[in-house]
Amino acid sequence: MFKLIRNAFVMLLLMTAITGVAYPLVSTGLAQVLFPTQANGSLVMKDGKAVGSSLIGQSFTEPKYFWGRPSATSPMANNGASSTGSNQGPTNPALTDAIKQRIDALRTADPGNAAPVPVDLVTASGSGLDPEISPAAAQYQLARVAKVRNLDPAKVQQLVAQATSDRQLGVLGEPRVNVLQLNLALDALQAPR
């Protein structure tokens, strides 16, 4: 019996060393060497400080910024610790009310815009953390942002194009615009020199 307990204890120590120490160290080391940006959270830096991640949405509500997808996370928007969708179906009155409020906020920020509101500006993504919007959502907001910032719409269009990523490998997903990257480019454009 003592021999069985000793063997079990040795296996416990060996497996703890392999799976609890060696494997995490090797995985972390390889990630830091092969994918350092991703391994460190895909952080976006501005003036030497982290201002967000290219993988997690940020909340922008001022008219001078492009707005991202609504976040379904709680207790605060874009909370990476509680990534989740709202799980509200299309017939749920709470979802309908939330969409109406989001449309009203967009119309209030840009009263002259009578274009149809793109769906990704009024519905949350599956994760509730989506950092990107569709090119149509960016186009919907372009005139408002250009007007509030007193910029030529063609210049803002150029920034939208620079922040737009195509489909991965030419076939996966849809074209998308990273909202944080776009808003930082707008701020840099108007930064005092």
Taking the C-alpha atoms of residue 99 and residue 88, their distance in angstroms, rounded to an integer, is: 11
pLDDT score, position 54: 80
pLDDT score, position 192: 58
pLDDT score, position 119: 92
Q: Are 162 and 185 in contact (CB under 8 A)?
A: yes
pLDDT score, position 134: 94
Domain edges within the chain: 42-189
Q: Are 171 and 148 in contact (CB under 8 A)?
A: no
- Identify whether 116 is preceded by a cis peptide bond (ω within 30 of 0): no
Say whether 4 sits in a helix, a strand or coil. helix
Taking the C-alpha atoms of residue 120 and residue 49, their distance in angstroms, rounded to an integer, is: 29
* pLDDT < 50 regions, the chain: none
pLDDT score, position 115: 93
Helices marked H in 40-178: 93-109, 135-149, 153-162
